[in-house]
Amino acid sequence: MKARYKYRIYPNHIQIAKFNQLFGCCRYVWNQSLAYCHQLYANGQKKPSYVDLTKQFITYSGFHLDRPQ
């Protein structure tokens, strides 16, 4: 039998801003990697591995100035 727990958090204004920043960065990386996969598919190439996507987007995303802050 699996047990599950449900938690509710009540963040303050500073924490809400940090959560919004975190989720914005996650959306940015997801959308960039998804667009890259669609581009490869359109060119007839195969889907990149998780390691390749991690190297290209998650590691490199910190160097982009146009990403959301």
Q: Which domain holds residue 45?
A: 29-69
The pLDDT score that the predictor gives to residue 2 is: 85
Tell me how far apart the alpha carbons of residues 63 and 67 are, in angstroms, rounded to a whole number.
9
Is position 12 within any domain?
A: no
Is position 7 within any domain?
A: no
**What are the contacts of 29-34 at 24+ separation with CB within 8 A?**
29/57, 29/58, 29/61, 32/57, 32/61, 33/57
The pLDDT score that the predictor gives to residue 68 is: 53
Is position 23 within any domain?
A: no
The pLDDT score that the predictor gives to residue 57 is: 78
Is position 43 within any domain?
A: yes
The pLDDT score that the predictor gives to residue 13 is: 98
Is position 53 within any domain?
A: yes
Is position 57 within any domain?
A: yes
The pLDDT score that the predictor gives to residue 28 is: 85
Q: What is the pLDDT of residues 10-67, one digit of tens each?
A: 999 999 999 999 999 889 888 988 999 999 999 999 999 989 888 887 766 566 556 5
Is position 19 within any domain?
A: no
Is position 11 within any domain?
A: no
The candidate with the shortest Cα–Cα distance to 27, out of 65, 63, 57, 60, is 57
Number of domains in the chain: 1
The pLDDT score that the predictor gives to residue 41 is: 94
